């Protein structure tokens, strides 16, 4: 089996907002369904603040690796590491044991910024709105990442805004 791919997964507004006051600034049922389908069964890395924002409980069916500089932070049902590099190493080892081809990085802003140079792929839900926030997704450099797929969806009855599901792959020359 080849090395597991590192995929950053995020919902991002037109002005790159991903969060506000430890919460997502929208309700998007279609995005949550996509997130679940894409990440199920695969190791997932997130920062402590993102983990707090999902209720400090692991999402079912996915091994969770939480990055925290606090050595006393030990929530139930997850593994805690002190750096992104340790998280990626552990997630890849878990992916190999599970026989899956990818590990997911699920935020937040600082973790995405640190992980971008390691990412093989970006799975981005572009939310068709500009709004205020305090947490941002890094700019996607088109010289590094090529958009390979995109599907637009109107806002469903459980969605605040229309979205575009986009996949970006790292260009071979950008490795």
Judge whether residue 4 has pLDDT over 90. Answer: yes
Ordered DSSP codes for 9-25: EEEEETT-EEESSSS-S
Judge whether residue 73 has pLDDT over 70. Answer: yes
The two structure tokens encoding residue 159: 């969605």
Q: Higher pLDDT residue, 175 or 128?
A: 128
The structural domains of the chain, ordered by start, are 5-174 (3.40.430.10)
45 CB-near residues (< 8 Å, 6+ apart) = 65, 66, 67, 84, 87, 88, 91, 103, 104, 105, 106, 111, 115
Place of tokens 């079912």: 60
Percentage of residues in the chain having pLDDT higher than 90: 91
- CA atoms of 144 and 123, how far apart (whole Å): 15
Q: What pLDDT score was predicted for residue 55?
A: 87
pLDDT tens by residue, 117-171: 999 999 999 999 999 999 999 999 999 999 999 999 999 999 999 999 999 999 9
Q: What is the mean pLDDT of the chain?
A: 95
Q: What pLDDT score was predicted for residue 175?
A: 63
């Amino acid at each position: 089996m080849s090395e597991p791919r590192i995929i950053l997964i995020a919902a991002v507004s037109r002005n790159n907002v991903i969060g506000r006051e430890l919460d997502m600034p929208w309700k998007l049922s279609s995005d949550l369904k996509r997130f679940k389908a894409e990440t199920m069964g695969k190791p997932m890395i997130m920062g402590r603040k993102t983990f707090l924002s999902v209720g400090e409980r692991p999402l079912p069916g996915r091994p969770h690796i939480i990055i925290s500089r606090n050595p006393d932070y030990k929530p139930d049902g997850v593994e805690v590491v002190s750096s992104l590099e340790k998280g990626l190493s552990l997630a890849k080892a878990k992916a190999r044991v599970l026989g899956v081809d990818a590990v997911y990085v699920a935020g937040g802003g600082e973790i995405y910024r640190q992980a971008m140079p390691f990412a093989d792929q970006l799975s981005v839900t572009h939310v068709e709105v500009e709004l205020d926030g305090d947490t941002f997704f890094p700019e996607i450099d088109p010289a590094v990442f090529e958009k390979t797929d995109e599907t637009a969806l109107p806002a469903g009855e459980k969605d605040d805004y229309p979205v575009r599901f986009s996949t970006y792959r790292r260009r071979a020359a950008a490795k």
